[in-house]
Chains A and B, each alone.
Chain A
Amino acid sequence: MNILFAFLVIAALALVLGFALAVAAKKFAVEKDVTAEQILAILPGANCGACGFPGCSGYADALSKGTAENGLCSPGGAKTSKAVSEILGTGGAVETEKMVAFVHCRGNHEVTAQDYEYRGISDCNAAHLLFKGDSSCKFGCHHLGSCIEVCPVEAIYRDEKDNIMVDPEKCIGCKKCTLVCPTQVIKMIPYRGSHAVACNNHDKGAVVRKICSVGCIACKICERKFPESGCTVSDNLSSVDYAKETAQIADAAAACPTKCIVTAK
């Protein structure tokens, strides 16, 4: 008798709750955003944050709601933005230039003077706390590889000379490395660029000459003798204007007395 009673109570409870659940499921149903799902499917899924949203799904949501601009996904590039505009029906790809990271410094301990010997935590920002790093050049790379650690696709590596290098084929342009770097020596350049000035030092030439054998000494040979190279010197440092770069830059690179104009590939 008792047992039967217990059965009945449980059965009745199950019925009521089951019904309540069914109602709740209908009533509070979350509307699935089809557009957002479609967009998410075509985003690269790198979750790198380059778009400025929390991961690819955040960006997909914002795109479907129209609160974000198309073309912010650098890993996806033009192909993705075209596909997105097809889904959104806005037509036409947003033209974005593929950008890749480049470390503008080849000043390893062999070629650049050192102020002291750093023995602290192996992290560029930690080293930067102590007199802006152990290198006598306060603009350059600390060679501790914090960028290597944050890169989501392992595009950054240390070469046999202890220089930090980016593989432009692997880089998806997420800019994470540029955000972690304490000296901002790692900067974005267009993928199509053939050369770059691998120096970030804005001190006068005479100062640079004393501390680094591969730094830009602002002699302006590149700018004056190779006007088509795209090289311009400002604030004691040469840089390449990629809108103007031509094949002449290879000649400028050969003529540069400190050989700090290097190939970007």
Chain B
Amino acid sequence: MHRLPTFRKGGIHPGDKKELSQSQPVERLPFPDELIVPLSQHLGAPANPLKEKGDAVGMGEMIGEASSFISANIHSPVNGTITEIRQITLMNSVSCKAFVIKVDTENPAVEFTAHPWKDKSGEQLLGKVKELGIVGTGGATFPTHVKLSVPKGKSVESLVINGVECEPYLTSDHRLMLEQTEQVLEGIMIAAHITEPKNIIVGVENNKKDAIERLRSVISEKKLPIEVVALQVKYPQGDEKQLLKATINREIPSGKLPLDVGAVVLNVGTAFAVYEAVVYNKPIIDRIVTVSGEAMKEKKNVRTPIGTKIADLIAFSGGLNDNVGKMVAGGPMMGFAFYDDQIPVIKGTSGILALERKKEKKVKISTPCISCGKCVAVCPMGLQPTRLFRLIENRQYEQAMKLNLMDCKECGCCAYSCPSELPLVHGMKLGKKMGRK
């Protein structure tokens, strides 16, 4: 049998749990009464507020301006009024200012009209991407205009589109590829117009066969120069480094970026956002969120306005069962556990999961490392998590940095595999924070 490609080093096969929500068509959340729109929804510097308390805002209007190159504009998801500017803490523990917007429930939305783009230059299109605050929707929320800006003297060999969605439970990208195939592909062509790659590849894991077929049929129908590669199912294939190994067989050296090996990587969700920005002048003001987990009453894929409080999203999904053990924003491997359901959905929120109490690992004091070496075997970055963890526990942060701690992707393969249940990823995060100090 023909073996599908994947990355080589490490990786794990957690149960993917996609069956809970993958056949649920995307539903649209009705506008809640109030939205909380943070000024930091992206990697990099928070945006500067452009509005004040009491100001009226219109859907799609810019309300926060990028404060540096690595930053992104913020737009109002609705028509409404700003009632307060509040300091909030996001799921990832970042504190930032946020606009509290009272939604004009009579007349919450505006229509966006389509514009042709094919006659525009790559530079003009890149300008649109920047103006409309497009960021990676896969979770890392890196500003997309930075990714698509190819420095002079560098050229792009491959534009690789990430349709892997390797985190368990999450199905938002899957539904997007199925339901908005044409739009996603057009977004990809826009990104190609900007970066001028020699080839365009979409990598999709083979647990989404319907999406692969759908993409391929539209591509052949429209005669697009895009190749769809079916990949073996293995976590964390959605990481840029692993994805490039799997799709174009390139390895990014430690500390380097995809562009250094001639590649630009975009998520399918981001390609869709690029499409909406360029064709409809529409910023990221909503996104598909997978609402799932065994302790969630109804599992759904919901197109949700940015700024929706998680409580509203949970209510839309029928509420929680009483066996909920842990709430997670994002996927269960790399997402963030949180306790406050008043935190808003932001541009990078791919899922809201309610995990069952019994599925959550038993609370126990972790036993010491038994030197089984499992963490070393599964680490896709070739690190020695157990050794790093010991160094970090002993506050030898510099030593850990020398052993390439900074290469750690916080993918969680090590902690997932550790029989002693050591909080290895938490340790890596601590080490990075202290090492940077």
A interface, CB within 8 angstroms of B = 115-116, 119-121, 123, 125-126, 129-132, 138, 149-150
Contact = CB atoms under 8 A, between A and B. Distances in A.
Interface stretch (B52-60, B112-120, B274-282, B426-434): B426-434
B423 interface: yes
Given A121-B393, A125-B430, 7 more contacts: A125-B434, A126-B427, A126-B429, A129-B433, A130-B93, A131-B89, A131-B93
Contacts of A129: 93, 426, 429-430, 433
How would you classify the secondary structure of chain B's contact residues: helix, strand, loop or mixed? mixed
Contact of B339 (A119, A131, A149): A131
Given A131-B89, A132-B93, A121 B339 contact: no
A129 B434 CA distance: 11
Contacts of A150: 395
A132 B91 CA distance: 11
A132 B88 CA distance: 12
B93 A121 contact: no
B325 to A, nearest CB: 12
B1 interface: no
Contacts of A116: 339
Interface size range of chain B in the complex: 10 to 19
Contact of A132 (B89, B363, B393, B433): B89
Nearest to B339: A116
Most buried by B among A125, A138, A149: A125
14 contacts: A115-B340, A120-B423, A120-B426, A121-B426, A126-B427, A129-B430, A130-B93, A130-B337, A131-B89, A131-B93, A131-B339, A132-B93, A132-B95, A138-B89
The 4 lowest CB-CB distance pairs between A and B, nearest first, are A116-B339, A126-B430, A120-B426, A131-B93
Contacts of A123: 430
B214 to A, nearest CB: 40
Contacts of A125: 430, 433-434
Nearest to B337: A130
Contacts of A121: 393, 423, 426-427, 430
A119 B93 contact: no
A115 B339 contact: yes
A119 B363 contact: yes
A189 B429 CA distance: 32
A138 B93 CA distance: 11
A125 B428 CA distance: 12
A123 B426 CA distance: 11
Contacts of B89: 131-132, 138
Contacts of B393: 121
Nearest to A133: B93
A115 B429 CA distance: 21
B88 to A, nearest CB: 11
Contacts of B433: 125, 129
A138 B88 CA distance: 12
A21 to B, nearest CB: 37
A138 B94 CA distance: 13
Interface in B323-380: 337-340, 363
Contacts of A149: 395
A150 B423 CA distance: 22
Interface string B407-437: 0000000000000000100110110011000
B89 to A, nearest CB: 6
Contacts of B337: 130
Contacts of B93: 129-132
Contacts of B423: 120-121
A128 B434 CA distance: 12
Nearest to B338: A131
B357 to A, nearest CB: 14
B116 to A, nearest CB: 47
